[in-house]
Amino acid sequence: MTNQIFYALIGLTLVIAVADWWACTIGPAKAEFVLKPLTMVALIAATISLPDPSSNLARWAIVVALIFSMLGDIFLLTEDRYFLQGLLAFFVAHLAYIYALAHLDVTWQLALVGLGVVLIGNAVIGRKIVAGVRATDASMVVPVIAYLGVVSAMVVTAIATANPWAIVGALLFFGSDAAIGWYRFVGPFKHRDLFVIVTYHLGQIGLVLSLTIPL
């Protein structure tokens, strides 16, 4: 029965997330101020309700990550005004995710694979974002590089678990963050808002679902 509660809450998270995607792209935009945090509330409830996670330490670390992600969401709803605070909140969230994923049985061989993946990603995308930061707002260079480092470390750790949900979730999260950085510091692209929010929510859900695979 408790497993049913977990999956029901995951379903509820998806329903609220889809409503948020609609608000983000079609409107009303003000609905995002409710729907975006509410998506995280439902996902936090789902994580707490899971009866037999693969690691209880990982579960509570993910709860911390989701709480800080929700704070980051709230800060970023105002776009420029609290961008640095949002970046800091998500920095802490990624540290919590790294701690959680490290308790899902990582191997150094797969960590090397993950390192290769993020090096390629940062060579193609991260390098241009940092160059854009230097050109537009030099004061943000260190925070952005630090953030790229922590989200890259999260992806490496996820790949090192060999857990498919963790890997897909981490890569989607990385893609969402990269799109935000690209739009802010490099240039606009079509359907940015929809891409960012869909990959972000699905990434978070994937990381939570990683708890359902036995070690």
Q: What percent of the chain has pLDDT over 70?
A: 99
Closest Cα partner for 62 from 13, 4, 104, 115? 104
Tokens, residue 184: 């802010």
Q: Where are the domains of the chain?
A: 2-212
CB 151 within 8 A of CB 205: no
Q: Which of 12-21, 125-134, 186-195 is the least confident region?
A: 186-195
Mean pLDDT confidence for 134-156: 93
CA distances in angstroms from 152 to 167, 178, 199, listed in the order given: 12, 11, 16
Q: What percent of the chain has pLDDT over 90?
A: 78
Grade residue 2 by pLDDT with cuts at 50, 70 and 90. low
Q: What is the pLDDT of residue 82?
A: 87
What rounded mean pLDDT belongs to the chain? Answer: 93
> What are 84-118's pLDDT values in tens digits?
899 999 999 999 999 999 999 899 999 999 999 99
> What are 39-70's pLDDT values in tens digits?
999 999 999 999 989 899 999 999 999 999 99
